[in-house]
Amino acid sequence: NGTIAADVNGQTLELTSAGITNNASILAENGGTLLINGITVTQPDGFIVAAGGNLDFNNATIVGGDIARLGAESVLFRGTTTL
């Protein structure tokens, strides 16, 4: 339950294939894009933040926690995304 960071400028980190539990932080930063694709993210104590990067939720389910955007980054919700 450490930090997951999409932090490479112009690159996408895709979370897919299995649900995860987030008790820390999931970040999109430094121009990277985080794609949460078709999975459930359960966040008892965690958060998802766009801080200099982009968040893309596609057919995802986010249970609990916070989602935040710091600055002018994009947060995109596609398909059937449930918060």
The DSSP output letter for 38 is S
Place of tokens 């894009």: 33
> For the chain, what percent of residues have pLDDT higher than 70?
98
pLDDT in tens, 26-38: 999 999 999 999 9
- Given a cut of 80, is residue 71 above it in pLDDT? no
Using a cut of 0.95, tell me whether the model's pTM lies above it. no
Q: What pLDDT is attached to residue 80?
A: 84
Q: What mean pLDDT comes out for the span 47-73?
A: 92
Q: Which strand (E) or helix (H) includes residue 50?
A: strand 47-51
